[in-house]
């Protein structure tokens, strides 16, 4: 996700440099669109699809407890 933001920011800076023949306002609007459209699209896509942890991930709770993948599945499925 952060890679999308980084690529969008670099692309926006490149576009800003390449649009020197336009006025300042047009350059800023085009640059913001180049950054915002991919960033918002990626964010909406992650919200729709979800950002699930891998099945073998170990979850560390704030109080220091660790949950193995089987314990995590038990808690998700309502067991225990």
Q: 62 and 44, same structural domain?
A: no
**pTM of the complete model:** 0.62
How confident is the prediction for the chain on average, in pLDDT? 83
Number of domains in the chain: 2
> Is it the case that residue 63 has pLDDT exceeding 80?
no
Q: 44 and 9, same structural domain?
A: yes
Q: 42 and 15, same structural domain?
A: yes
Instruction: Report CA-CA distances (Å) from 51 to 8, 14, 45.
Output: 20, 30, 10
Calculate the CA 40 to chain-centre distance. Answer: 9
Kindly indicate the confidence band of residue 39, based on its pLDDT and cuts at 50, 70 and 90.
Answer: very high
> Is it the case that residue 26 has pLDDT exceeding 80?
yes
Q: Which of 10, 20, 3 is nearest to 28 (CA)?
A: 20
Q: 44 and 73, same structural domain?
A: no
Structural domain boundaries, residue 62: 52-80
6-10, 18-22, 31-35, 48-52: least confidently modelled range: 48-52
Q: 77 and 40, same structural domain?
A: no
> Is it the case that residue 75 has pLDDT exceeding 90?
no
* Model pLDDT, residue 21: 95
């Amino acid at each position: 996700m952060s890679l999308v933001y980084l690529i969008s920011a670099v692309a926006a800076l490149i576009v800003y440099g390449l649009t020197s023949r336009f006025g300042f306002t047009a350059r800023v609007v085009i640059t913001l669109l180049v950054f915002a459209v991919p960033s918002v699209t990626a964010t909406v896509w992650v919200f729709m699809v979800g950002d699930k942890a891998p099945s073998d991930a170990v979850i560390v709770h704030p109080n220091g407890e660790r949950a193995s993948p089987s314990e995590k599945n038990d808690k998700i499925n309502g067991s225990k």
